A and B are shown apart, each in its own frame.
Chain A
Amino acid sequence: MTTTVDERSDTQRRGGRVAPTGGLRRRPGRRGAGLVGRGALALVLTLGAAVMLVPFVWLVRSALMTDNQIFVAPPEWWPKPFAWNNFTESLTAQPFGLYLLNTMIIEFFVVSGTVLTCAISAFSFARLRWRGRNVVFALLLTSVMLPYAVTLIPTFVMWSEMEALNTFLPLTVPAWFAGAGGGVFNIFLMRQFFLTIPFELDEAAYIDGATPWRVFWMIIMPLSKPVLVVVVIFTFIGVWNDFLGPLLYLGDQDKFTLALGLASFQSNYTAQWGYLMAASTVVILPIILLFFLLQRYFVEGVTLTGIKS
């Protein structure tokens, strides 16, 4: 590993030119090059990180300023004084507590439904042999390519006919059908993982008289925690960030989710930028925290999908 690391840093430093080759040059030249390369790498990463983070800094800084201070040219970077009341006032200007509760209710039903039904379908596609299995799975996979706009209007009409507009049903029920649409990715992910578990475990269980449900629930699920965590995180973030769904289906303000509340806030309160920035900060923070705590599962999760091959 270290070899590749040093070599790659070399490339950067020399701007990608091929190094003069020769087995003997290795040790002495390399250590110095590694140091310089490493320094360059650190510098590039820091600069990049600054570019990535500046918008966030700008956001938090604006969230802590009074409107008077926000509209000063040239702009100031440091809030003077800290307008903490932006947070308390913006969050009470609209019922953000209720929005949070609504979001969490939807989260609960979507995450549990997606994980359960996607896992059980994936189990069927990975470890149970039945006629037509591969054809059905291939068919499901094609829906990944389908633009959501194609199903948008009829699906809306369907919920409207069922008089389910302005309820959480259109946002939660599809999750119980293996996530419907977007859920196919989860099935794919879990299937890949299930395929890596030794099949002898199932065989032994069946010989002991176990049912497939028992094999799924007592053997496969406990062994699949990493992939389950990944699906939970992806699904949770998806719901947290969803905007078009709530926009279409939720009309009454007391049904709003956080994303929807923030959007309506944006149109109603453009005069009070400090409030808007404070509310945005509050919507962003939990997801960043969640990601930071569970960061390593993300890369792992994508690796698991086998996209690499």
Chain B
Amino acid sequence: MTQPRASARPGRVRAAGQVRLERRWGWIFALPAMLGFLIFTIGPMIASAVFSLTDWSIGSKPNFTGMDNYVRLGHDELFWKSLTVTTYYTIGSVPLVLLVGFVAALLLNQKIKGLSFWRTVYYLPTLVPAIASAVLWIWIYNPDFGLLNSLLRQAGLPTSQWIYSEKAAIPSLIMMSTWGFGNAMVIFLAGLQGIPRNLLEAASIDGGGAWARFRHVTLPFMTPTIFYNLVTGVIGTFQVFNQAYVMTQGGPNNATLFYIYYLYRTAFTEGAMGYAAALAWVLFVIVLVITVLLFRNARRWVYYEMGGAR
């Protein structure tokens, strides 16, 4: 009965048998994840890189063509168009979603009646299957019988062709994406709940008004959360597909030719697998560069050291 003493000091004294057990089983238990990573991430990544150096199309034999695909990309107008469209969408959508999500989270972080009801209502659009919400918004944007134009007409305001006009298509999709700020909001809420209450109280005792408290306690504490939402938001908008596929088919006149939609068309409609793989790798590099830039920039405004106070 001397051994239970060891267990009273957690993590320090371990019986030799336990060390051996943990080593052997640790490996086995992590195996599904490691295999999954190899088979479904590393393997395909390497294969994708190799494909991108060939002229392989469905139904033909691949030839090694070196950097040809990448050179061709430079002259491909649709590639540049899709990049512009996607960037435009990202720049429009991400800040809006962040702002609306943050404000909503601030409002829903208070003691009010029916909190779970409110949260559900604001989160609802994120739950709607992409296809159903696409169908819904096609109908809202219908120039003749849609909800938006009907409301505008009744208010005596000018109407729009929405997703059917080259100019208004992307702003329309940005508006639709803002409707789905729920995910950002939930993460902001979690962040707000992590702010130590005693700090807010201390600021209050020091005579800090509501704005001062927000500016000097809440906001600094929320910077990591804002940053997280920013990064995942940008990565997410660079991968938009459903809206283009279901709502606009990339039109009108390629105004909504999102990058992944162009990639999908290249690979699975035209069957140009090699070229599409090159597209995928360029996207990977773009996302990587943006992420690195965001992380570098983050040093200036994200207060990680405060997280240690929790």
* A and B together in one complex: yes
| Interface status of A56 (Cβ within 8 A of chain B) | yes
| Interface status of B190 (Cβ within 8 A of chain A) | yes
Residues on B with C-beta less than 8 A from A181 are 36, 40-41
A151 vs chain B, min Cβ distance (A): 4
Of A80-88, A116-124, A221-229, the segment with at least 4 beta carbons within 8 Å of chain B is: A116-124
- A46-95 residues with Cβ-Cβ distance < 8 A to B are 48-49, 52-56, 58-59, 62, 70-75
- A269-309 residues with Cβ-Cβ distance < 8 A to B are 273, 276-277, 280, 283-284, 287-288, 291-292, 295-296, 298-299, 302-303, 305, 307-309
- 1/0 per residue, CB under 8 A from B, across A172-194: the answer is 00101111110110010000000
Q: Contacts A75-B145, A125-B30; is A180 near B207 (CB within 8 Å)?
A: no
Nearest A-chain residue to B100, judged by Cβ: A48
Q: Do B191 and A7 touch across chains, with their CB atoms under 8 A apart?
A: no
Q: Do A145 and B288 touch across chains, with their CB atoms under 8 A apart?
A: yes
B181 vs chain A, min Cβ distance (A): 9
| Interface status of A203 (Cβ within 8 A of chain B) | yes
| Interface status of B300 (Cβ within 8 A of chain A) | no
Q: Do A133 and B32 touch across chains, with their CB atoms under 8 A apart?
A: no
A163 to B51, CA, bound (A): 20
Of B7-15, B63-71, B166-174, the segment with at least 4 beta carbons within 8 Å of chain A is: B7-15
Q: Do B107 and A44 touch across chains, with their CB atoms under 8 A apart?
A: yes
A283 to B17, CA, bound (A): 53
Q: Do A259 and B129 touch across chains, with their CB atoms under 8 A apart?
A: yes
Nearest B-chain residue to A139, judged by Cβ: B37
| Interface status of A154 (Cβ within 8 A of chain B) | yes
Q: Contacts A58-B147, A130-B23; is A154 near B191 (CB within 8 Å)?
A: no
Of B72-80, B90-98, B116-124, the segment with at least 4 beta carbons within 8 Å of chain A is: B116-124
Q: Do A302 and B187 touch across chains, with their CB atoms under 8 A apart?
A: yes
A183 to B129, CA, bound (A): 20
A213 to B32, CA, bound (A): 15
A5 to B194, CA, bound (A): 16
Residue in B39, B273, B281 whose beta carbon sits within 8 Å of that of A177 in the complex? B39
Nearest A-chain residue to B222, judged by Cβ: A308
| Interface status of B201 (Cβ within 8 A of chain A) | yes
| Interface status of A16 (Cβ within 8 A of chain B) | yes
| Interface status of B253 (Cβ within 8 A of chain A) | no
| Interface status of A28 (Cβ within 8 A of chain B) | no
Q: Do A177 and B32 touch across chains, with their CB atoms under 8 A apart?
A: yes
Q: Do A128 and B135 touch across chains, with their CB atoms under 8 A apart?
A: no
B100 vs chain A, min Cβ distance (A): 9
- 1/0 per residue, CB under 8 A from A, across B114-140: the answer is 001011111111011111101111111
Q: Contacts A153-B276, A287-B127; is A45 near B112 (CB within 8 Å)?
A: yes
Residue in A248, A287, A302 whose beta carbon sits within 8 Å of that of B268 in the complex? A248
- 1/0 per residue, CB under 8 A from A, across B14-51: the answer is 11011101110111011011111101110111011001
A233 vs chain B, min Cβ distance (A): 10
B79 vs chain A, min Cβ distance (A): 14
B69 vs chain A, min Cβ distance (A): 13
Q: Do B26 and A124 touch across chains, with their CB atoms under 8 A apart?
A: yes
| Interface status of A10 (Cβ within 8 A of chain B) | yes
Q: Do A299 and B189 touch across chains, with their CB atoms under 8 A apart?
A: yes
Q: Do A284 and B104 touch across chains, with their CB atoms under 8 A apart?
A: no
Residues on A with C-beta less than 8 A from B119 are 295, 299
Residue in B29, B201, B260, B279 whose beta carbon sits within 8 Å of that of A124 in the complex? B29
Q: Do B33 and A117 touch across chains, with their CB atoms under 8 A apart?
A: yes
A281 vs chain B, min Cβ distance (A): 8
- 1/0 per residue, CB under 8 A from A, across B203-237: the answer is 01001111111100000000011001000000100
Q: Contacts A139-B37, A211-B21, A243-B242; is A151 near B44 (CB within 8 Å)?
A: yes
Q: Do B110 and A307 touch across chains, with their CB atoms under 8 A apart?
A: no
Q: Do B118 and A128 touch across chains, with their CB atoms under 8 A apart?
A: no
| Interface status of B200 (Cβ within 8 A of chain A) | yes
Q: Do B23 and A288 touch across chains, with their CB atoms under 8 A apart?
A: no
A145 to B289, CA, bound (A): 11
Q: Do A55 and B131 touch across chains, with their CB atoms under 8 A apart?
A: no
Residue in B11, B110, B144, B246 whose beta carbon sits within 8 Å of that of A5 in the complex? B110
- Considering residues A151, A154, A180, A307, which has the most beta carbons from chain B within 10 angstroms of its beta carbon? A154
11 CB-based A-B contacts, threshold 8 Å: A45-B107, A58-B140, A117-B33, A124-B25, A130-B23, A180-B41, A181-B41, A187-B33, A244-B264, A277-B139, A309-B308
Instruction: Give the top 6 A-B pairs by smallest Cβ distance, nearest first.
Output: A177-B36, A308-B194, A130-B26, A128-B26, A124-B29, A154-B47
